[in-house]
Amino acid sequence: MTKNIKLSEICSGKSYCVLGFELDSSDYAQKLHKMGFVAGTPITLAPIKISDPMVFQIRGSRVALRKSEAIQVKVKEL
């Protein structure tokens, strides 16, 4: 059984799936949703050696989020 975690806790080399947001009604959640952070979308940590911001690969694009922003996104490991 896979455990649901926050996007800020994902590991390099593994694939994850977006589940949703801590606060679905927040303006920031709506902004991320428009950027492609939709439930069911695969997401990985980009192979870049920086820790903050974190860089993610989603829908063929790379998106950088601060850890304080990534903590709001819920994911599960595939």
Give the start-to-end residue ranges of the domains of the chain. Answer: 4-77
- pTM, two decimals, is 0.86
Band the pLDDT of 44: cuts 50, 70, 90. very high
Is the per-residue pLDDT at 14 higher than 80?
yes
What local confidence, expressed as pLDDT, does residue 49 receive? 83
Domain 4-77 has CATH 2.30.30.90: yes
Residue that is written with structure tokens 């820790």 in the block: 51
DSSP, residue by residue, 7-55: GGG--TT-EEEEEEESSTTSHHHHHHHHTT--TT-EEEE-S-S-SSSEE
Task: Go through the chain and tell me how many residues it has.
Answer: 78
- What is the per-residue pLDDT for 1? 53
More confidently predicted of 15 and 2: 15
